[in-house]
Structure 1
Amino acid sequence: MKAPVIEIFSSFQGEGLLIGERQIFVRFAGCNLNCNYCDTNDSKSEKSGKLMTPEEVLEEINKILTPDCKTISFTGGEPSLYPEFISEVGRLSDLDIMLETNGTLPNNIDRIERLDMVSLDIKLPEHFDGEFDEQILLNEIKSVSLLMEKSIKVYCKVVILPSTKIESFKEVVEKLSENISNKNNLKVIIQPSSPLSDWKDINFRLFDYSKVVGQYFDVSTIPQIHKILDIE
């Protein structure tokens, strides 16, 4: 069993609920989407990765493992393209397993045998050039629901761009609310896109986004801290 891996590195988690925690990141090559704000364009094609076995990945992880690191974060690209591979690394390692996913492949996510934390990106119409496929959102909602049913800790992250319209943002959040039964157990992270210098009047606009989400879910607004710290 092999999967295309671009890089394996140790850093601080710069996004979401585990922000500031030391993690080892395994970045896969290959993605099933083409978001216009992607900050890892080199990971979109599976051809850009080096084929590795789970044992080889674990060997590289152990080389850079430090006492302050408790979690492997699988990212990409789209890591859920490789569910059996992630399951095997999870079987071989005692570290917690985190998945950073777009959530559009619920059947694949369901096949990952061990997950301790999932960061799931909710996509907006402004994230794509061209018409927005509503099936993307429906699949993301399905992924959130199945993870919650399995009592796996999951939170949703929504990247907002300077071009994001409050109306389309509200529609997506409302759709998410209508289809998630246990809203009290789901946290939503609003993440303004980097660099923050691209924004005008960002403070006032962020309050508006937060108020929309707060009607339905627990909400926080967190920028990409690793970009501010200028680390990978």
Structure 2
Amino acid sequence: MLEAPIVEIFSSIQGEGLLVGRRQIFVRFAGCNLDCNYCDTAISKSSESGTLKTVDYVVCKINELKTDDLHSVSFTGGEPLLYADFINEVISQIEIPSFLETNGTLPDEINKLDNLDYVSLDIKLEEHFNNNYSKKILLNEIKSVNILMDKSIKVYCKLVVLPDSNLSRIENLVKTLKNDINKNQDLSVVIQPVSPIELWKDDKKILFEISEIIGKYMDVLTIPQLHKFMNIE
């Protein structure tokens, strides 16, 4: 029997990325393979913060939370790809579009998922880590993007930026991403200013500079975390 550590299952409004404003049911998994210094769901970093639940339990909760305005089910974390087999089984038992929020560093696990509808894939910067950044992170993220594109799954990348983000590093990263992704498909990058938004009161200009840099290579949008403004989960 498949089980996975679950922190919470709830219905809310998606506050990030290209599906911002959509009603979703969120299935938050516990445990992550990275340790980003800006993480706003620190409670989900450790697998011990969750409670082991079965596929049947999760499917039942999803069905209980359905509303007429529901757009999709978001599998989030933590890092949900630590439980790819579990997610596959849940998706096979629900008739609702599926949305995965992932750091994209586990391409072998992402390759297991054929029935996803949408994926938000975080691209990590060196400044997202205190001391454990590796170039392998970006290589795996690019590999994951290409796997998803080959499967015709709708994927976009999200880039969390800080007021002191290094512009030249961002340009080098986006160049690499542009050169190494599937050339037959377009990829959007969502710039997400790190929360809280008060951090940006004196540094808004850099957001325009980052947007201009990314816009030289691919489609770009800047979308802050809407749910922080609405004060909802």
TM-score > 0.5, shorter chain as reference: yes
> Is residue 31–residue 43 contact of structure 1 (8 Å, CA) maintained in 2?
yes
Contact 2:38 2:128 in 1 (8 A): yes
SS in 2 for 1:216: coil
8 Å CA contact 2:59, 2:90 repeated in 1: yes
1:64 deviation in Å? 1.5
Residue 9 of structure 2 corresponds to residue 8 of structure 1: yes
Asked whether the equivalents of residues 24 and 70 of structure 2 are also in contact (C-alpha less than 8 Å), the reply is: yes
- Are the equivalent residues in 2 in contact too, given 1:72–1:95 (CA < 8 A)? yes
What is the aligned partner in structure 2 of residue 189 from structure 1?
Answer: 190
Shifted more, 119-128 versus 107-116: the winner is 107-116
Cα deviation digits, residues 65-122 of structure 1 (max 9, x gap):
1110031000000001111100001000000010000000000011023100000000
Q: Alignment partner of 1:58: what SS?
A: helix
CA drift of 1:202 comes to 3.3
Match of 1:62 in 2: 63
Report how far residue 207 of structure 1 moved: 0.8
| Identical columns (%) | 55
Task: Give the whole-Å Cα distance in 2 for the aligned partners of 1:148 and 1:92.
Answer: 24
Q: 1:192, CA displacement in angstroms?
A: 0.3
Q: 1:183 offset after TM fit, Å?
A: 6.9
Equivalent in the alignment of 1:53 = 54
Output the aligned Cα RMSD.
1.1
Is 1:199 aligned to 2:200, yes or no? yes
- Determine the structure 1 residue equivalent to 2:104: 103
1:82 counterpart SS class: helix
User: Structure 1 stretch 101-110 or stretch 62-71: which is displaced more?
Assistant: 62-71
Aligned 8 A contact 1:170 1:212 in 2: yes
* Mapped partners of 2:3, 2:168: distance in 1: 43
Deviation, structure 1 residue 228? 0.6
Runs of 5+ consecutive residues of structure 2 not aligned to the other structure: none
Equivalent-residue separation in structure 2 for 1:70 and 1:3 (angstroms): 24
CA contact (8 A) 2:211 2:220 kept: yes
Cα distance in 2 between the residues matched to 1:184 and 1:86: 26
Q: How does 1:1-232 map to 2 (within 5 A)?
A: 1-182=2-183, 185-232=186-233
Counterparts of 1:166 and 1:222, CA distance in 2:
18
Alpha-carbon contact 1:184-1:218 (below 8 Å) kept: no
- What code does the residue aligned with 1:156 have? C
For residues 203 and 163 of structure 2, what CA distance do their matches in structure 1 show? 8
Distance 1:184 1:110, change over 3 A: closer
Contact 1:97 1:116 survives alignment (8 Å):
yes
Secondary structure of the structure 1 residue equivalent to 2:5? strand
